[in-house]
């Protein structure tokens, strides 16, 4: 499948993948991350349940804090 991930086209295996599987596949291991699928905020407890399909738009934004 091909998805738009952080404004870049990415080809991923299969017809669909969970958000958690995509984050693992892309090595996104940030402790604080915000995920939006097709413009809708996805909460962390749903990462295993929500599937991303061909043509979807996924944004995974790494939050950095500091002072």
The pTM for the full model equals 0.90
Mean pLDDT rounded to a whole number for the chain: 94
Domains of the chain, earliest start first: 2-62 (3.10.20.30)
> In percent, how much of the chain has pLDDT > 90?
85
Measure the CA angle with vertex 49, ends 64 and 58; round to 5°.
45
Per-residue pLDDT at 66 exceeds 80:
no
17-49 pLDDT per residue, tens: 999 999 999 999 888 899 999 999 999 999 999
């Amino acid at each position: 499948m091909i998805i738009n991930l952080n404004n870049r086209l990415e080809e991923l295996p299969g017809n669909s993948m969970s958000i958690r599987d995509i984050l693992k596949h892309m090595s996104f291991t940030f402790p604080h991350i915000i995920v939006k699928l097709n413009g809708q905020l996805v909460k962390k407890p749903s990462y295993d349940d929500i599937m991303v399909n061909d043509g979807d738009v996924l944004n995974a934004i790494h939050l950095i804090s500091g002072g």
